[in-house]
Chains A and B, each alone.
Chain A
Amino acid sequence: MIFDVVVEVRLRAGIADPQGATIERALPALGFDGVAGVSVGKSIRFSLQAADETAAHAAVTDLCHRFLTNPVIEDSEISLHPAEVAAN
């Protein structure tokens, strides 16, 4: 089966987020008030071939831990679903 995968990478709680802080500081100058808690992460999308959803999830978890994130400073959230097969 082929799965569409989205991995959202974000900084772990307690790790300073200078990008989020800088964006948040700039907002009032643009007239946006009341925005708080800005954080910046990455989203990584790909497709994956795997036997089933459990196997796909295990493979992506391993990939996140070993490569896509640095567990010292980052967490990840995985969402995946079977790819839609294009109609012929």
Chain B
Amino acid sequence: MPTNVAVIRFPGTNCEFDVVEVVQQLGAQAQIVFHDEPSLGSADAVVIAGGFAHGDYLRPGAIARFSPVMEAVASFAKSGGPVVGICNGFQVLTEAHLLPGALQKNAGLKFRCGFTDLRVESSNSVLTSAVTPGDVLSIPINHFEGNYTCSAETLAELQGEDRILFRYVSNPNGSVDDIAGICNDGRNVVGLMPHPERACHELLGSSDGVALMQSLLNAAGLN
């Protein structure tokens, strides 16, 4: 059976085809799974793509987390399956309590859109196994609510357990401890604000995202 990635789409998701494109480019299959599906089918990995699920009304991710598909995502995550939330997907994962903390409005109220340098802090996760701590990746961001916030206890936990996967070299949004991406304690659920799927070809300005997407596919059983 070919490796199969379920790409979740809510009303308002807009990055799902970018993810599908990269997954196929790397030799795996991708299927888009709509928010009202109760099952993920035969998925080996899940990506919650970016966008503005349910218009970001109330709070980003607040409505999406109650979608039928999120129960399937939660049980897939609980069984150890690799799950990555990108941008709005990260917001959905925090609202669904699959990752700790919350994403607040950017400091300075600026919508941030452009390439940013990310420093890899840990290679111990489903999204970072093919990169090395200290690597600096050029990956675009595109968000208004990417200011990662959590309690002091949660921050100490993330730091102590090596669960901060990426830090911004130059903090664009006010995130605590320059955090750009984290994982859960099982290291199989990852959330990040930057968009690796938009940095997977030189024609797009950077191919630094390939190693991250390749890590995910390796975790899903490709190769």
Q: Does A80 sit within 8 A of B, measured CB to CB? A: no
1/0 contact trace for A36-74 toward B, CB 8 Å? 000000000000000000000000000000011010110
Query: Using a Cβ–Cβ cut-off of 8 Å, how many residues does chain A contribute to the interface with B?
Result: 10
Using CB atoms, name the residue of chain B closest to A40. B105
Q: How far is the CB of B85 from chain A (nearest CB, A)?
A: 16
Please tell me if the beta carbons of B62 and A67 are within 8 angstroms of each other in the complex: yes
Q: Does B142 sit within 8 A of A, measured CB to CB? A: no
Across-interface contacts of A15 in B (CB, < 8 A): 104, 149
Option from B59, B95, B105 in Cβ contact (under 8 Å) with A19: B105
Using CB atoms, name the residue of chain B closest to A69. B59
Please tell me if the beta carbons of A73 and B108 are within 8 angstroms of each other in the complex: no
Please tell me if the beta carbons of A18 and B108 are within 8 angstroms of each other in the complex: yes
Across-interface contacts of B149 in A (CB, < 8 A): 15-16, 72-73
8 A Cβ contacts from B31-60 to A: 58-59
Across-interface contacts of A70 in B (CB, < 8 A): 59, 62, 95, 102
Q: Does A22 sit within 8 A of B, measured CB to CB? A: yes
**Complex formed: what's the CA distance from A10 to B98 in Å?**
24
Using CB atoms, name the residue of chain A closest to B97. A72
Q: How far is the CB of B154 from chain A (nearest CB, A)?
A: 8
Option from B109, B150, B174 in Cβ contact (under 8 Å) with A72: B150
**Complex formed: what's the CA distance from A61 to B147 in Å?**
27
8 A Cβ contacts from B124-176 to A: 147, 149-151, 174
Across-interface contacts of B151 in A (CB, < 8 A): 72
**Complex formed: what's the CA distance from A19 to B145 in Å?**
12
Please tell me if the beta carbons of A18 and B102 are within 8 angstroms of each other in the complex: no
**Complex formed: what's the CA distance from A19 to B144 in Å?**
12
Across-interface contacts of B150 in A (CB, < 8 A): 72
Across-interface contacts of A18 in B (CB, < 8 A): 104-109, 147, 174
**Complex formed: what's the CA distance from A19 to B107 in Å?**
9
Counting chain A CB atoms within 10 Å of each CB, the highest count among B59, B101, B109 belongs to B59
**Complex formed: what's the CA distance from A68 to B62 in Å?**
8
Across-interface contacts of A67 in B (CB, < 8 A): 58, 62, 66
Please tell me if the beta carbons of B62 and A16 are within 8 angstroms of each other in the complex: no
Q: Which residues of B contact A (CB under 8 A)?
A: 58-59, 62, 66, 94-95, 100-102, 104-109, 147, 149-151, 174
23 residue pairs from A and B, CB less than 8 Å apart: A15-B149, A16-B174, A18-B104, A18-B105, A18-B106, A18-B107, A18-B109, A18-B147, A18-B174, A19-B105, A19-B109, A22-B108, A22-B109, A67-B58, A70-B62, A70-B95, A72-B94, A72-B100, A72-B101, A72-B149, A72-B150, A72-B151, A73-B102
Q: Which residues of A contact B (CB under 8 A)?
A: 15-16, 18-19, 22, 67-68, 70, 72-73
